[in-house]
Amino acid sequence: MITWVSDKFPALVLFLPNCLMMGKKALIIGPLIIINKTEKESAKLIYAMAHVRLFYTTFGLHCLKKLLNKNYRYDADIKAFAEEILQSHKKDKITEIYYTVDYMCDNHYLSENKRGWAIVQLADLTNTLNEQ
């Protein structure tokens, strides 16, 4: 199933069955989002749209900047996770922040010595987005 999503930044969303996604929840390539069918109703689409927004605001350089600059990658993912947390229906945002940072440390690329930094950045950004 293919869907065209547009708030201010258009994206083409392709929903694939679990067997074709090879265990991944989503893959974001510029304005193209390939997402697992099981994640269709989850907040993962919000996370992906945040990366699409960054793609447009960096004039298409987002993917390249993420590959070349580790700090940019941290910041971009923190921004995307903050939007996901803010728009999720879960009431306990603090617990969500800790779960997100644990996910980034365990299953991602964030080193343990960056854990505290990520918690502070995510909490600050979530509060900032909430006030807007």
Dist CA 35 CA 16 (whole Å)? 6
Domain ranges of the chain: 69-132
Q: What is the tens place of the pLDDT at every residue in 31-44? A: 888 888 877 777 77
The widest CA-to-CA distance across the chain, in whole angstroms, is: 41
8 A C-beta contact, residue 85 and residue 93 = yes
Q: What is the pLDDT of residues 61-98, one digit of tens each?
A: 988 888 898 888 888 888 888 888 777 766 677 777 77
